[in-house]
Amino acid sequence: NGHDTDPERQMSILYDNRSRIKVRVEQLKTGRRHTQTPRSELARLISNIEVAAVEGAEVSVRANVLIYEDNLRGETIWAARNDYRLRLVEGAFRLVRKKVGLVNNARPVFTLSFLV
What residue spans define the domains of the chain? Answer: 7-102
Per residue in 15-27, pLDDT (tens digit) is 667 787 787 778 7
Q: What is the distance, to the nearest Å, from the Cα of residue 76 to the centroid of all Cα atoms in its chain?
A: 15
**Cβ-contact 83, 60 below 8 angstroms:** yes
Count the Cβ atoms, other than its own, within 10 Å of residue 69: 20
**pTM of the predicted protein model:** 0.66
From 94, 101, 84, select the one nearest 9 (Cα to Cα): 101
Instruction: Give the domain 7-102 fold.
Output: Nuclear Transport Factor 2; Chain: A, (3.10.450)
**pLDDT over threshold 50, residue 6:** no
